Amino acid sequence: MLLAVGIASEIELDADGYVVLVEAAAQEQALRQLALYEQERVRRPPPVEEALPPLENGWRGAAGYALVLLSVPVAVAQGWSGTDLYAAGPLDPDAVRSGQWWRALTALTLHWDGPHLLGNLIAGALLGISAAQVWGSARAWLLIAIAAVGADLAEGLLDLGHYISAGASTAVFAALGLVAAHAWRSRGGHARTLKDWVPLIAGVALLGMFGAGGQDPDSAQVSDTTDILAHALGFATGALLGIIAATARGARAIAAVPAWLAGILTPAAFGLAWLLALRAVG
């Protein structure tokens, strides 16, 4: 403080503790400045801790996710569509390469059996709620959908032989990659200590533990290998998007999307995809 007002000083330690040494000619001025500083310090109110914003609970988005996944088996059970949805909607790479890009969306809403659906419902809802703490429900689910659809399109463009696949598992692992990579990148994205790698390591570990399964028991065309590929691609696209979202430019771009618009875009995209799918086989 004394240096700030132009008084040269030094601090030394003697038998009574620390002392401030100044030139004899500056002693009076130094004492006055120290007294003024002490008065100002006492009068100054303690800093007010900034209240943290309330966390987004994310249940609204999770409920919407569940509604989308449950609507398809309900439609199948009730015969509302009049079309075999499992012929129109699964991810068929041959069909995607021929122009049926909408299968990248419709496949995410189809499941081979009850356990397949239940597992993706629970895991997806929990990860969606986690993502909502960062971006809010609407934007979080839009990011998850973008990553999952991107992964399905990438898988559809790969020529790995003829097979079909379906399920929201790709979206689940896209959400996992999104949250894990964003947490890692937000810590600085540098491996200074093992703790800095924890979010990404946890995400990769979960990918390894739960990255297989969901095979259609009635079709020899679907294999665990394709499921692992879909999950790995989902995690990779989610992680890439999470790293981008953690940058200043990415965060600004996401924040620029109104929540109401993000909330409309995701279900509208799936609705449009199913309209195109039904029209293609109708």
Two tokens, residue 234: 């989902």
Q: Most confidently modeled of 41-50, 115-124, 269-278? A: 269-278
DSSP reduced 3-state for 10: strand
Domains of the chain: 3-43 (no CATH), 59-281 (1.20.1540.10)
Sign of CA dihedral 157, 161, 167, 172: negative
CA distance 97 to 214: 23
Two tokens, residue 13: 């330690």
Cβ atoms of 252 and 185 within 8 Å: the answer is: no
Over residues 55-87, the pLDDT tens digits come to: 567 888 999 999 999 998 898 888 887 788 888
Q: Most confidently modeled of 1-5, 147-151, 232-236? A: 147-151
DSSP label of 165:
B
If one counts every other C-beta atom within 10 angstroms of the C-beta of residue 244, the result is 17
Cβ atoms of 265 and 254 within 8 Å: the answer is: no
Of residues 69 and 213, more confidence is placed in: 69
> Letter for the amino acid at 7?
I
DSSP reduced 3-state for 111: coil
pLDDT band at 212 (very low <50, low <70, confident <90, very high): very low
User: What's the pLDDT score for residue 217?
Assistant: 40
If one counts every other C-beta atom within 10 angstroms of the C-beta of residue 109, the result is 23
**What integer is the mean pLDDT of 243-250?**
92
Angle at 65 (CA atoms; ends 210, 248), nearest 5 degrees: 80
pLDDT band at 174 (very low <50, low <70, confident <90, very high): very high
If one counts every other C-beta atom within 10 angstroms of the C-beta of residue 111, the result is 23
Over residues 93-145, the pLDDT tens digits come to: 899 999 999 999 999 999 988 888 898 899 899 899 999 999 999 999 999 99
Over residues 175-198, the pLDDT tens digits come to: 999 998 898 888 765 545 444 544
Contacts of 10 (CB under 8 A, 6+ apart): 20, 21
Of residues 44 and 73, more confidence is placed in: 73
Does 163 score more than 90 pLDDT? no
**What integer is the mean pLDDT of 153-172?**
86
Of residues 61 and 217, more confidence is placed in: 61
Residues in the chain: 282
If one counts every other C-beta atom within 10 angstroms of the C-beta of residue 45, the result is 5
- Cα distances from 264 to residues 64, 102, 152, 258, in angstroms, run 11, 18, 21, 10
> Letter for the amino acid at 271?
G
DSSP reduced 3-state for 269: helix
